Amino acid sequence: MSSAAPGKNSRRTYLVIGAVAAAAVAGGGLLVVYLQTRIPSSPSLTRQVIPPQSQMAAKVVETPVPQMQQSSVRTVAAPVTSTLKTKVPVARQTAEKTAPSPRHLQATGAKHATAASTAPRETPAVERKAVVKDRASLDAYLFAARSAEARRDYSQAMHQYRKALEADPHNYRILNNLASTSLSMGMFTDALGYANRALQLKGDYVSALVNGGIAQGRLGNENGARIMLGRAVAVDPVNRMALYNLALSQERSALLDDALSSYRRLSDTGDAQGMLGMARIRERRGEHQDALRLYREVTALPEAGQRVREAARERINVLDR
């Protein structure tokens, strides 16, 4: 009896331990299931790669418009010619320096210049929208006109500018270009008419005032020419084209003191034509030594072109005899 009792006790102990272990395992499994349902699993970490910010160049898109803000004026010693020297398709104002003879002085045309038979009254600029249905066509007309001018085909240039004016009838720059082209073709009355129309739209347009003054001078109205050119200088006191043509008109009219003053102002801008003109005035006054000194200075000016230097050397040779 005593030996059987311990065996039963040990079996009972093993059974209790086994039951406890099974309960522990089952409880652990239930705990795991509970935790999985109540606590969501942590998402895997992902990196959003942001590309480096690139430098963006601001691009200004410009609607192609006729760029004829400035005009080209030719100063010539022969018949008046006005040409627009351009880097196509942009019109620029340039001055081709040709020494005029003291006996035969001629003015030169300026792209964007106009005048009236009598000086037109100052009128405020009238800002009007272009009546342009097809901007591309207008630009094509202007490009063709400037290309023709570069070839000295002024008839074709006139034709293209007129087509451009039909597309944009209130464009004072186109009107002035027509005035300049008319000067190149020797059509001085037409040049004056186009110049006046440009000035009606913009009364202080310097290039138009210059072309108008030139046209009046070529039509024999030197007084009207000086009025228009004087107005141009009043608007822009250092405009070489205006100063040069004003000085020429004064010299042709034998207003030597006024011409000397205008040439001096032109020379102060760095234009060799100014000093050449001053020398001519001194020579006409009989001040030959002063004239020789100025002529020699002209030949040494780095900005003096070949024609200007040749004109100065010619007068030196005459005065040195």
Q: How confident is the model at residue 120 (pLDDT cuts 50, 70, 90)?
A: very low
Number of Cβ within 10 Å of residue 276's Cβ equals 28
pLDDT digits (tens, 9 = 90+) for 220-266: 999 999 999 999 999 999 999 999 999 999 999 999 999 999 999 99
pLDDT at 116 (0 to 100): 35
pLDDT digits (tens, 9 = 90+) for 148-186: 999 999 999 999 999 999 999 999 999 999 999 999 999
Average pLDDT estimate for 284-307: 95
Is a pLDDT exceeding 50 seen at residue 280?
yes
How far is Cα 177 from Cα 163, in angstroms, rounded to an integer? 12
Single pTM value for the model: 0.63
How far is Cα 222 from Cα 282, in angstroms, rounded to an integer? 22
pLDDT at 200 (0 to 100): 97
pLDDT digits (tens, 9 = 90+) for 54-84: 333 332 222 333 333 333 343 333 333 333 3
pLDDT at 89 (0 to 100): 31
**Percent of the chain beyond pLDDT 90?**
56
**Percent of the chain beyond pLDDT 70?**
61
For residue 271, give the nearest of 248, 237, 246, 305 by alpha carbon. Answer: 305
Indicate the average pLDDT of the chain. 75
Collect all residues with Cβ–Cβ distance below 8 Å to 131 and sequence separation of at least 6.
167, 168, 169, 170
CB contact at 8 A, 209 and 245: no
